[in-house]
Copies of this chain bind each other. A is one copy, B any other.
């Protein structure tokens, strides 16, 4: 950290004038006959005099508002009288020494205060001449928490924001420093600053030197490093975009740079905004981008290959999903500028995105121009084999430019979803009247801002973009306009504060703390962050796609990934999200029924790939480069999806005890899927068993097999829990049960047949060893020695061919082991062990499915193989952070993220949900010093705080409700 200037707040940092202000305000209040609030002294600290006046006047504000300025002046006069008595003895401890030490080390010092009496006070204190610059209430700058006072001070000092440190005693001042792009030291009690992000908190300045300050700052930064992600050059540019995505459940936006780069995959995906597309049936339409800004310095555009980037860094803060960037750029003409940007998708106002872009010339005065477009149609990637020819799903219905705002109204071309986006800006750092702003409408509306800046002077543009779609409102454009207007009134500081508070509440419910393993700690938080930015908090009509909303892989389709891999996390931490995910499955039941009917089955057959209406949207084939179609069979064969959805219903029901859901939606899903299984199972009279033939199990290396153990056992389980649910419903909501029986044709005869199907369902297993055969004939397939093929750089399918793996005992991902994992209460450890020993070595862990490693990690814990578990765990936890599979560019592995939580909580912590409540049976990796997390179970919160010493069943601490 290179600190070249320190900017001091005045009151509370250099001198404690709080008492003087308080006395002046109190005198004014007394004269007006108004009773002061008891905590007045604290409340008026560090805020503008007009805000303070409002607090002082309280209910009398409307009466006195017309005289506000006069009253404030009166208070100022009293205050000036009071501070007449100040002298050098009133300097707070350590200030004079710190200033001297800084100056001795050629660090510039300045003061930035909203007070109009700043210079008087400094003069009285005898320290005025020490400061290189003083910016006070006469500067005309917007008051803190706006960044302007600090930016003006930096300009006066001639030092760019990134090299300034602010010393503040008020949270609003700390926030202002952050918004100015400066470092900050907060003076006071730590808890006072919980809502803001000082780099360092100290009780006071006594004894502080430059050296000590730098050391303390470095330590403090180290302390939060597991919350920070800095995707570096070890990742491809497109993988970095995925890793640095920001989002808020309503939308996510990839971490593309502000300026356009060749090959970038710029994307903002709003959940549920699907539009048809050839081959893939439908896909999430890429929405107008809110992050693009193009910079020109003296007519030279900041773009790859132009001039030279001297330093560059980007940091995603997982605590609040804020992405920051700092660049030093030398233009082709040799001028240097500093660029600092910040962006977030508000978690508090999910329709709102906020970005700030700040430019500071470093070497000479330059003309700076920012172009801020609202790009209607960045387009979706094209179809194979030509992803670079994008598809444009949007038709522009209207485009307006008004003053400093532009608005777009779009409609998807086939699905007819309307989307409005409104963009507005606020200017900080230079007086607004100096900035020439132009707005234009048209298919790609936008704004440009032009200004001449002197060295050290910063133009900071805060950009607000509001979105609304016809999925949530009948009037998207008025809605996005209103959102934008509201955002403009609140301003960046308040929006950021609300956003942070919302993230704070989420992490309080979900965080998993791991001590002793920074790599794991950061990776786990990164994976949870991915689940949190993807969660549908506000809708039950959309689920979480396989790549969440961070990329175009699988075109935004929803798989069992959500139900089996992600849902348990939500069910046990944010059950309202789990409920929305299942309501999505309920809303799409008509599509699932149609899927079954079309294929000649009863009940509901969920789509292997699902989108807006539950119809099957797995591509039937994709084009090869040669022009030939490559068939894709999962959509027709992976029947197990229907049992997976039932499993999700059951899991949520177990965790939440949500009887309303079970009665109104859950039971119907369980029964409709059971009806499907009862109709697809065929009785073989010779063998006296029910069979399911011609399917694909979880292991997609074997495409059309008979009696896949996973499918058959899950089908049996599905029928059993459906019958249980029906029993429960008959007792608790008999009229509802009757209705469902009538609707689904569940006569006594039919239910008897279900029981028979479940009882006689064939699952090939050797009773002696417990070994389950993945499907009929698997054991007869060719043996392949995977060790002989190591080290590999490609999947087994790529090596052996599609036909080759079909004929071999190799697995893309756990199949029998997946069954044992899901229904682990039904199998004993001996069975788990026997099957583990058989299947684990035959599985393509590195290049098969990313769904495998977290499940293997959890199962390995159960078998006590902690080192093996940890290896599998890391393979899952780092899949995107280190792009282990080379496809992070297409979006995060959201199922793996859910699996990582399961590996930690069910694996290392050994969580079991027992009839008497949750218990843990920890088996932590040797180097972990602590594992702490909480769950919500049947309406109550439980905290697990596990350390290496613990063994056997550990009960949780009760958490707040």
Whether A443 lies near B442 (C-beta < 8 A) is no
- Cβ-defined partner of A281 (8 Å) among B279, B383, B440, B627: B627
Contacts of A629 in B (CB 8 A): 621, 629
Residue numbers in B under 8 Å from A386 (CB-CB): 276-278, 413-414
Q: Which single member of B375, B438, B620 contacts A627 (CB below 8 Å)?
A: B620
Could you tell me the distance between the alpha carbons of A621 and B384 in the complex, rounded to whole angstroms? 14
Tell me the minimal C-beta distance from A783 to chain B in angstroms. Answer: 37
Asked if A446 is at the interface (CB within 8 A of a chain B CB), the reply is yes
0/1 string, A280-309, CB within 8 A of B gives 1 = 010000000000001000000000000000
Residues from 554 to 605 in A contacting B, C-beta threshold 8 Å: none
Q: Is the CB of A446 within 8 A of B442?
A: yes
A607–B425 CA distance with the chains assembled, in angstroms: 55
Pick from B278, B379, B438: contact of A438, CB below 8 A.
B438
Given the known A-B contacts A390-B391, A390-B392, are A627 and B619 also in contact in the complex, defined by CB atoms under 8 Å? yes
B contact residues around A438 at 8 Å (CB): 438, 440
Q: CB-nearest residue of chain B relative to A279?
A: B623
Q: Which residues of B contact A275 (CB under 8 A)?
A: 389
The CA-CA distance from A278 to B621 in the complex, in Å, is 13
- A140 interface hit (Cβ, 8 Å): no
A393 within 8 A of B: yes
* CB contact between A414 and one of B294, B388, B441, B448 (< 8 Å): that residue: B388
- Judge whether B620 and A628 touch: CB under 8 Å: yes
| Cβ–Cβ contact B443 & A278, under 8 A | no
Q: Which of A388, A414, A621 has the most CB of B within 10 A?
A: A388
CA distance A572 to B276 in the complex (A): 49
CA distance A628 to B393 in the complex (A): 22
The answer, yes or no, to whether A38 is at the interface (CB within 8 Å) is no
Is A385 an interface position by the 8 A CB rule?
Answer: yes
Interface hits, A365-414 → B, CB 8 Å: 371, 373, 375, 377, 379, 382-386, 388-393, 395-396, 413-414
Say whether A235 faces chain B, with CB atoms less than 8 Å apart: no
Nearest chain B residue, comparing its CB with the CB of A631: B629
Contact residues in B for A627 (Cβ distance below 8 Å): 279, 281, 619-621
* A391 surroundings in chain B (CB, below 8 A): 382, 389-392
Closest residue to A388 on the B side, CB-wise?
B413
Interchain CA distance A881-B281 in the complex, whole Å:
36
Q: What residue of chain B has the Cβ atom nearest to residue A373's Cβ?
A: B442
Residues on B with C-beta less than 8 A from A623 are 278-279
In-complex Cβ contact of A395 among B262, B373, B443 (8 A): B262
List residues of chain B with CB within 8 A of the CB of A388: 413-414
**How far does the alpha carbon of A375 sit from the alpha carbon of B375 in the complex, in Å?**
12
Q: List residues of chain B with CB within 8 A of the CB of A446.
A: 440, 442
Contact B392 A278 (CB under 8 A): no
Q: In the complex, what residues of B have CB within 8 A of residue A444's CB? A: 442-444
CB of A74 to closest CB in B, whole Å:
48
A623 to B375, CA, bound (A): 30
Interface string of A407-449 (1 = CB under 8 A from B): 0000001100000000000000000000000101111101010
> How far apart are the CA atoms of A440 and B276 in the complex, in Å?
33
Taking the nearest CB of chain B, how far is it from the CB of A457, in angstroms?
24
Write out the residue numbers on chain B whose beta carbons fall within 8 Å of the beta carbon of A414: 386, 388-389
Name the B residues within 8 Å of A443 (CB-CB).
373, 375, 444
Residues of B within 8 A of A382 (CB): 278, 391
Report whether B395 and A392 are in contact in the complex, using a CB–CB cutoff of 8 Å.
no
**Known contacts A383-B383, A619-B627, A627-B281, A389 near B276 by CB under 8 Å:** yes
Whether A389 lies near B375 (C-beta < 8 A) is no
**Those of A431-481 within 8 Å (CB) of chain B:** 438, 440-444, 446, 448
> Per a CB cutoff under 8 Å, which of B371, B383, B442 touches A278?
B383
CB distance from A282 to the nearest CB of B (A): 10
Q: Shortest beta-carbon distance, A486 to chain B, in Å?
A: 25
B-side contacts of A377, CB under 8 Å: 392
Partner of A392, one of B371, B389, B448: B389
Name the contact of A385 in the complex, choosing from B278, B390, B441 (C-beta under 8 A): B278
Closest chain B CB from A100 CB (angstroms): 51
Within 8 A of B (CB), among A254-279: 260, 262, 275-279
Interface contacts beyond A279-B383, A388-B413: sample of 14 additional A-B pairs, CB < 8 Å, sorted by A: A260-B396, A275-B389, A276-B386, A278-B384, A279-B623, A294-B442, A371-B440, A379-B392, A389-B391, A391-B392, A392-B392, A440-B446, A444-B444, A619-B627
- Nearest first, the 10 closest Cβ-Cβ pairs linking A and B are A444-B444, A388-B413, A278-B383, A620-B627, A440-B440, A390-B392, A629-B629, A373-B442, A389-B391, A278-B386
- Can you report 5 residue pairs joining A to B where beta carbons are below 8 Å apart? A278-B386, A279-B383, A281-B627, A392-B392, A440-B446
